[in-house]
A and B are shown apart, each in its own frame.
Chain A
Amino acid sequence: MADRFDVRRQTGFASMAMMCFFLLYLPIATLVVYAFNDNESLAIWKGFSLRWFHAAWNNSLVIESSIRSFQIAAIAAILATISATMAALATTRTKPYRGLTFKYAFINQPLMVPEIVTAVALLIVFSRIKIWTGYSGLGYLILAHTAFCVPFAYLPIRARLESMDLSLETAAADLYATKWKTFRHVTLPLLWPGILAGLMLAFVVSLDDVVITEFVKSGGQDTLPTFMLGQIRRGVTPEINAISTVFLALSIGIVTAFFFISRKRT
């Protein structure tokens, strides 16, 4: 033990790491490859083809549920980011007080509570409200998604606020900026990368939610993930692979875009 401890030299480390990467990426790679398979079967490779992408594109149910997914994700992510920004400001721009830790836990509650519990709870409450109001639109899904997206938006925004130099806001106040102007001209521009990160994270999390959506949705309100779940029950076709591949490409695209945006700003 005289040498410096290096985890990479430990026996079994390399093989363990390889196994993790395998489990993580091999299935995804397989899924993507078979999306281009010119065969009904998922197991037998026949040749390269884009027919499953065509099939998905021409399936009105796929398009409809995709549009619904994006609608919900966009609105929920924006609402969640706005509330998360306010929550982050309220919990960082204050002197520490008793109960602040409790407040953090309260805000991050959706990360802790099992999703199925939230889903059942929401189902019960929303079904009551549906009876009282008669409203059965997308609002319920948007509200539910907003609620569980808040902590995902909150964490990067809070991290950004905490690393920000407080003397900048003091300097703005010294230079005749009111509280609002300080926020508008100093805090907000510096907070942007955090807000963008929160927004994208919330968007992606909303986009692939299944459990809560499955419970809360009314008839004909399938999002892309719940639609896919329904399809799989009737047997998997490579069309699902094709949809998943597009989904994957979109996610990678969003994350990459964010990476470059945030790098440019800092």
Chain B
Amino acid sequence: MTAIRPAVEAKGVSRIFQGAGQDAVKALDNVSVSIRENEFFTLLGPSGCGKTTLLRLIAGFDYPTDGEILLHGQDIAPLPPFKRPVNTVFQSYALFPHMTVAENIGFGLKMLGKPKAEIAARVDAMLKLVHMQEQRNRRTSQISGGQQQRVALARALAPQPKVLLLDEPLSALDYKLRKEMQIELKRLQHETGITFIFVTHDQEEALTMSDRIAVMSSGKILQVGTPWDIYDRPAERFVADFIGETNFLTGTVECAESGKAKVALRSGAKILAMAARDFQPGSQATLMVRPEHARLVKGTGDLAGTIETIVYFGTDTHIHVRLDGGEAFIVRQQNSRCASCGFERGDKVGIQMGDGAAQLLKD
């Protein structure tokens, strides 16, 4: 994050799909975002949130109803896809079945009219980069899914685009291969220095791979930030809910000042929470606590309740607690030597929260 010059900038971009009847669908609603050079940037959201539409607008497969898309400061919105220095890795890979692996990788350069020797050299370099030298003369139907993925990557990287767009490229791979490819993608981004714009609905994937994440919902960007920002300082309830597991508690704000607020819960317990914005005393607000930021204690804690279920996960244990106010609350404890560390179903327990573990969110 040295250069602050944006690689891609969307300014007030909307895309409205005219439906069959009167109903028009706003796939993108006045979206503005700035993606930095050499950044691994992720568009994250549930299906139908507009993340793929935004990607298609940047690639040129679709045109915005309104707004500008800038590539290094130049408006590219009116350019057809073949005039944009941007390449895409498709969800279905879209490899050409009538060409070999090497021909697929060289296709973009050939279309650009590069000399044969240059194409050959570049294809060799790409094959090496994705460890596919031995499969160069195979047909794309003769290689495995993971290998097809690598070819799709190499094909998109070969013309040295300014920006690489990745449309859920790992969703067709099984769990282990996906983990491998995640690391591979990070390596490729690091080695090529190309700006990656990655679309996914998998929050874990987004957190582990991205420099920054934009969380989208219903055609809008809700929050842009580093994985830490998104996970630890979500701007609103949707973001906190979509990323990871979270406990939500409703309470009444008693007083709020200088980024902190005191909230009274239904049980009467009072919690000191972080509050990024101003909350009016007396108003209802949602309190969020990540399960791993809370700890069970035998005596009194910030909250009190009864253990309902204990679920063992290997690395950690999830303890479901019914609070005295009636709300459900999950605590995640890292497993050390003891299995449940002396806690049993039905135990009356206290829940201790660390500093800044509780946060007030707007609904």
Contact = CB atoms under 8 A, between A and B. Distances in A.
Interface string A150-183: 0000000000000001011011111111100100
Contact of A167 (B83, B94, B107, B155): B94
A65 B138 CA distance: 49
Contacts of A177: 82, 107, 111
Interface string A175-219: 111100100011001100000000000000000000000000000
Interface residues of A, number: 17
B111 A167 contact: no
Given A176-B82, A176-B159, A178-B82, A171 B111 contact: no
B98 A176 contact: no
Interface string B249-267: 0000000000000000000
B87 A174 contact: yes
A143 B232 CA distance: 75
Contacts of A185: 107, 111
Interface residues on B, range: 20 to 34
Contacts of B61: 170, 173-174
A173 B80 contact: yes
Given A173-B82, A175-B111, A175-B159, A168 B96 contact: yes
A190 B98 CA distance: 7
B341 interface: no
Contacts of B59: 174
Contacts, number: 60
Contacts of B94: 165, 167-168, 170-171
Contacts of A181: 111
Contacts of A173: 60-61, 80-82
Interface string B58-77: 01110000000000000000
B88 A171 contact: yes
B97 interface: yes
A167 B82 contact: no
Given A175-B159, A176-B159, A189-B98, A167 B87 contact: no
A185 B107 CA distance: 9
A167 B90 contact: yes
Contacts of B111: 172, 175-178, 181, 185
A183 to B, nearest CB: 12
B112 interface: yes
A175 B97 contact: no
Contacts of A172: 96, 107, 111
A174 B98 CA distance: 18
B108 interface: yes
A185 B108 CA distance: 11
Contact of B97 (A170, A174, A178, A190): A190
A175 B108 contact: yes
A177 B90 CA distance: 16
A175 B90 CA distance: 12
A4 to B, nearest CB: 35
B81 A186 contact: no
A189 B96 CA distance: 10
B51 to A, nearest CB: 17
Nearest to A176: B111
Interface of A: 165, 167-168, 170-178, 181, 185-186, 189-190
Given A175-B108, A176-B111, 19 more contacts: A168-B97, A170-B61, A170-B90, A171-B95, A171-B96, A172-B96, A172-B107, A173-B60, A173-B80, A173-B82, A174-B60, A174-B81, A174-B88, A174-B156, A175-B155, A175-B156, A176-B83, A185-B107, A190-B98
12 contacts: A165-B92, A168-B97, A170-B81, A171-B96, A174-B59, A174-B61, A175-B155, A177-B107, A178-B82, A185-B107, A185-B111, A190-B97
A-B CB proximity, top 4 nearest = A175-B108, A171-B94, A167-B94, A176-B111
